[in-house]
């Protein structure tokens, strides 16, 4: 026993100076040292400017290339980014595995689709209803299920996703299996109509990405991380775990719903197969591929998932095989995701630190 304790003391002593030196330089978290290109690359990727550059690029796309095809896949990709960022709040920030996220996408798309085609509402006026419907959906499914943990939650959300799709398939006012068509867009603002939709989408998605990354860094974001890492310990520290999980779920629902509205305006026609399980799985894939809990990572993951099949068009029939293989290769070499969340919290300004 005595040997043990003196070994412990020695070990502590040996480690201490190095750490004091680290603390003195104000280094936030110990990062494994890497050299050369990777450092430059990760520095670039984690810089604040990257987000701005990507946002400007997204908004400027129609100036760079305004072919119908590019605008089309650009809008698709942006909507997908919004979905991934929304699911990232639920899965990445809070650690709730949601396998039926496409349900909220469907709720948003149908809410705006029904109101605009059957009731003649302008698209933008459906936004409050879309948000309200998503929140209601989140309350109905989240209320009873968020008391459950991981596996059970995944099963219930999986079922919920299917219920919404099958319901849409069987109701009259949702158009049944034919779905809805002739959904208006947001107006053309004197532009080509697909470019107008693109810009509305790009603006909404930029705001959404910014908002989600702010959420993740705020007080609620910290609570989410604590709940994700250890729910019991979080509860022991006075975090209202149920309320905090609910907040994540509702936030994710609203993101999904608004993405659905953008999708309806973009496609002008929606039908139940647009919201099948494959969607939920692909969105989750984007989150995992990008790096759970990392907003920039998830944006990159979503762009990869939505654009890769387009970029691989040259491979013709082989394209989905190559797509699948690429995903596997990425996950083998970057199991934490393309751009994982930092281990530590984002650096806060130190006030009266001891170190």
Instruction: Candidates 45-53, 117-125, 321-329, 343-351: pick the segment binding other proteins (CB under 8 A).
Output: 343-351
Judged by CB under 8 A, how many residues of this single chain contact other proteins?
A: 39
Contact between 319 and other proteins by CB under 8 A: the answer reads: no
Contact between 329 and other proteins by CB under 8 A: the answer reads: no
**Least spacing, CB of residue 248 vs other proteins, in Å:** 16
Is residue 208 a contact partner of residue 255, using CB atoms and an 8 Å limit?
Answer: yes
Contact between 68 and other proteins by CB under 8 A: the answer reads: no
DSSP readout, 279-326? HHHHHHHHHHHH-TT-HHHHHHHHHHHHHHHHHGGGGGGGHHHHHHHH
Residue from 47, 140, 207, 229 binding other proteins (CB under 8 A): 229
Nearest-10 Cα torsion for 203, 92, 308, 201? -10
Residue from 225, 279, 297, 305 binding other proteins (CB under 8 A): 225
Q: How open is the CA angle 233-236-239, to the nearest 5 degrees?
A: 90
Contact between 292 and other proteins by CB under 8 A: the answer reads: no
Helix H segments across the chain?
2-24, 37-45, 48-64, 68-87, 102-118, 127-145, 150-170, 193-217, 219-229, 231-236, 241-267, 277-290, 295-311, 319-333
Instruction: Candidates 128-136, 145-153, 187-195, 237-245: pick the segment binding other proteins (CB under 8 A).
Output: 237-245
Instruction: Assign 180 to helix, strand or coil.
Output: strand
User: Which CB atom, from 15 or from 192, has the smaller least distance to other proteins?
Assistant: 15
Owner of token pair 């085609």:
117
User: Which CB atom, from 27 or from 119, has the smaller least distance to other proteins?
Assistant: 27
User: Which CB atom, from 12 or from 119, has the smaller least distance to other proteins?
Assistant: 12
Residue 66's alpha-carbon distances to 199, 268, 326, 338, in angstroms, are 12, 20, 29, 29
- Where in 6-65 is the site for other proteins (CB under 8 A)? 8-9, 11-12, 16, 19-20, 22-23, 27-30
Instruction: Candidates 150-158, 235-243, 247-255, 259-267: pick the segment binding other proteins (CB under 8 A).
Output: 235-243
Q: CA-to-CA distance for 228 and 292, rounded, in angstroms?
A: 11
Residues within the interface to other proteins (CB under 8 A): 1, 4-5, 8-9, 11-12, 16, 19-20, 22-23, 27-30, 222-223, 225-226, 229-230, 232-240, 343-345, 351-355
């Amino acid at each position: 026993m005595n040997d043990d304790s003196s070994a412990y003391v020695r070990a502590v002593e040996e480690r201490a100076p190095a750490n004091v030196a680290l603390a003195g330089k104000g280094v936030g978290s110990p990062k494994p040292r890497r050299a050369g290109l990777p450092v430059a690359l990760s520095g670039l990727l984690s810089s604040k400017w990257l987000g701005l550059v990507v946002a400007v690029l997204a908004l400027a796309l129609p100036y760079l290339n305004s072919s119908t095809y590019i605008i089309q896949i650009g809008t698709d990709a942006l909507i997908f980014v919004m979905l991934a960022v929304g699911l990232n709040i639920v899965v990445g920030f809070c650690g709730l595995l949601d396998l039926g996220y496409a349900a909220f996408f469907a709720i948003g798309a149908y809410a705006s689709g029904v109101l605009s085609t059957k009731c003649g509402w302008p698209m933008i006026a459906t936004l409050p209803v879309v948000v309200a419907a998503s929140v209601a959906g989140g309350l109905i499914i989240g209320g009873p299920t968020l008391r459950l943990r991981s596996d059970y939650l995944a099963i219930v959300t999986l079922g919920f996703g299917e219920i919404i799709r099958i319901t849409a398939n069987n109701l009259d006012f949702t158009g049944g299996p034919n779905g809805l068509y002739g959904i208006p867009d947001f107006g053309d603002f004197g532009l080509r109509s697909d470019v107008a939709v693109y810009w509305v989408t790009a603006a909404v998605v930029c705001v959404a990405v910014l908002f989600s990354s702010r959420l993740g860094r705020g007080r609620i974001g910290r609570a989410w991380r604590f709940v994700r890492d250890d729910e019991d310990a979080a509860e022991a520290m006075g975090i209202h775990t149920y309320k905090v999980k609910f907040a994540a779920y509702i936030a994710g629902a609203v993101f999904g719903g608004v993405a659905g509205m953008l999708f309806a305006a973009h496609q002008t026609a929606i039908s139940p197969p647009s919201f099948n399980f494959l969607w939920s799985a692909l969105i989750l894939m984007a989150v995992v591929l990008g790096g759970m809990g990392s907003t920039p990572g998830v944006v990159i993951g979503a762009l990869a998932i939505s654009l890769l099949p387009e970029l691989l068009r040259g491979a013709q029939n082989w394209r989905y095989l190559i797509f699948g293989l690429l995903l596997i290769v990425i996950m083998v070499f970057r199991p934490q995701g393309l751009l994982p969340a930092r281990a530590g919290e984002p650096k806060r300004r130190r006030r009266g630190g001891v170190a």
